[in-house]
Amino acid sequence: MMVSAPADGLFAAYRSIALRRTAILVGLGMLTVAAFLADLSAGPADLGLGDILLSLIRPDSLEPRMQIVIWQVRMPDALIALAVGAALGLAGVETQTTLNNPLASPFTLGISSAATLGASFFIVLQPNPGFIGSAFLLPGFAFFFALAAALTILSLASLQGGSTGTVVLYGIALVFLCEALTAGLQYVASDDAIQQIVFWSIGNLTRAGWLEVAVVSAVFLLILPISLRDVWVLTVLRGGEDQARSAGFAIRTIRLLVMLRVSVLAAVAVCFVGTIGFVGLVGPHIARMLLGEDHRFLVPGACLTGAAVLSLASCLSKSVIPGAIVPVGIITAIVGVPVFLALIAIRRGDAGWR
């Protein structure tokens, strides 16, 4: 009895923590659904939440004009917000854990800057390789540049041993290089091309359709099970490289594989909707504050938080100016900065933030 009593107490405490974190995940799921419905309800057309719910249950109950508004305009925008937000949340939490850096995000690697450079390259020079449909040339070039940049960083970092500092430093260098090349393209571009580059780079969900929703969702759903398979590895890695190495994990290989799937997630997310900042940075931190460092809960929590944050930002982008839609990248930047500063103030005592 003297031996089993402490074990029973530890098991009860563990079960209580697991139940609390499961309840938080359920709450985040309900918040995401609520944000999705609010995003569907927002917009200039006179459609309330009742009309939205009725259209989801009985699509034929609304007049054709309203069906087009909901299913051809609002539904793709709302779903791409969920898909991109979840992808950026997943990419963000894995980047922060793998690089052991609270300020890391997919954009730390310069993926966003490379995507902007790819889009600018197409807008200014109008190349046509011939094997891609015209509608996919711009996102295709953005994706290609983003993925090529990520693979270049990983290859160079691998030659230097694949340390976290090396990956971050190469990413920062790439950000400056891509921004300089983009500025050079803008210098020789026409006024119309410059306007297109600026519009693309500030992030906008309204340019996505059902095909873009399907592509981003498919990539996210393919990578999520791989991330969930590695939750124990990520949890151990969060405790420190020495601890993970003593447990027999090949740190260098794990880091390169994780960063490769992070690069694919981030590249797919930004190639269709442009640059959307802070979601991949703030979402994982909110999830970490609520769920702790156990990645069995943190990984799905970061996906739900990222989806909810971008969905709420999309809703706000349709509501802040009546009759107009503000690019969601502006909303995430304006709202993300004070939220991130608040997170720094709350977590300033944590060792990882010093």
Is pLDDT of 319 > 80? yes
Predicted confidence at residue 131, as pLDDT, reads 64
* CA separation for the pair 287, 18 (Å, rounded): 15
Q: Which of 139-143, 196-200, 284-288 has the highest mean pLDDT?
A: 284-288
| Rounded CA separation 87/97 (Å) | 16
- Average pLDDT, rounded, for the chain: 83
CA quadruple 29, 30, 33, 35: dihedral sign: negative
How many Å apart are CA 273 and CA 217, to the nearest integer?
14
pLDDT digits (tens, 9 = 90+) for 102-157: 777 777 778 778 888 888 888 888 887 766 666 677 778 888 888 788 778 777 77
What does the pLDDT read at residue 11? 80
What band does 162 get if pLDDT is binned at 50, 70 and 90?
Answer: low
pLDDT over 60 (residue 204): yes
Give the pLDDT confidence score for residue 54 in this predicted structure: 78
Least-confidence region, from 86-90, 192-196, 246-250: 246-250
- pLDDT exceeds cutoff 80 at 315: yes
More confident residue, 311 or 320: 311
Binned at pLDDT 50, 70 and 90, residue 181 comes out as very high
Dihedral-angle region of residue 328 (phi above 0 means left; psi in -120 to 50 means alpha; beta otherwise): alpha
Q: What angle do CA 149, 152, 156 make, to 5 degrees?
A: 145
Q: Mean pLDDT, to the nearest integer, of 223-247?
A: 84
Summarised one tens digit per residue, pLDDT across range 125-136 is 888 776 666 667
Give the per-residue pLDDT at 130.
Answer: 67
More confident residue, 61 or 174: 174
Whether pLDDT at 72 is above 70: yes
Cα separation, 108 vs 91, in Å, equals 11
pTM for the complete prediction? 0.86
Cα distances (Å, whole numbers) of residue 176 to 92, 129, 173, 258, 305: 21, 28, 5, 24, 30
Token pair recorded at residue 80: 């791409």
Q: Does the pLDDT at position 1 exceed 60?
A: no
Residues 6+ apart with CB under 8 A from 234: 94, 97, 98, 258, 295, 299
Distance separating alpha carbons of residues 214 and 233, to the nearest angstrom:
30
* Local confidence band at 161 (pLDDT 50, 70, 90 cut-offs): low
Q: Average of pLDDT values for 14-19?
A: 87
State the Rg of the chain over Cα: 22
- Residue 324: predicted pLDDT: 80
Q: Which of 339, 316, 342 is nearest to 329 (CA)?
A: 316
**In angstroms, rounded to a whole number, what is the distance separating the alpha carbons of residues 99 and 168?**
8
Q: Which two tokens stand for residue 113?
A: 């800057």
Which amino acid does the sequence have at 114?
A
Look at 238 and 317; give whichever has higher pLDDT.
317
Residue 262 has pLDDT above 80, yes or no: yes
**Maximum C-alpha span of the chain:** 81
Q: How confident is the model at residue 221 (pLDDT cuts 50, 70, 90)?
A: very high
Q: What is the pLDDT of residue 166?
A: 75
- What is the rounded end-to-end Cα distance, in angstroms, of the chain? 44
Predicted confidence at residue 15, as pLDDT, reads 85
3-state helix, strand, coil in the chain (%, to 5): 80, 0, 20
**Residue 81 clears pLDDT 90, i.e. is over it:** yes
Q: Distance between CA 109 and CA 147 in Å, rounded?
A: 11
What is the DSSP secondary-structure string of 209-271?
A: -HHHHHHHHHHHHHHHHHHHHTHHHHHHHHT-HHHHHHTT--HHHHHHHHHHHHHHHHHHHHH
Q: Mapping DSSP to helix (H, G, I), strand (E, B) and coil, where does residue 65 land?
A: helix
In the chain the domains, ranked by start, together with CATH numbers, are 25-345 (1.10.3470.10)
pLDDT at 303: 95
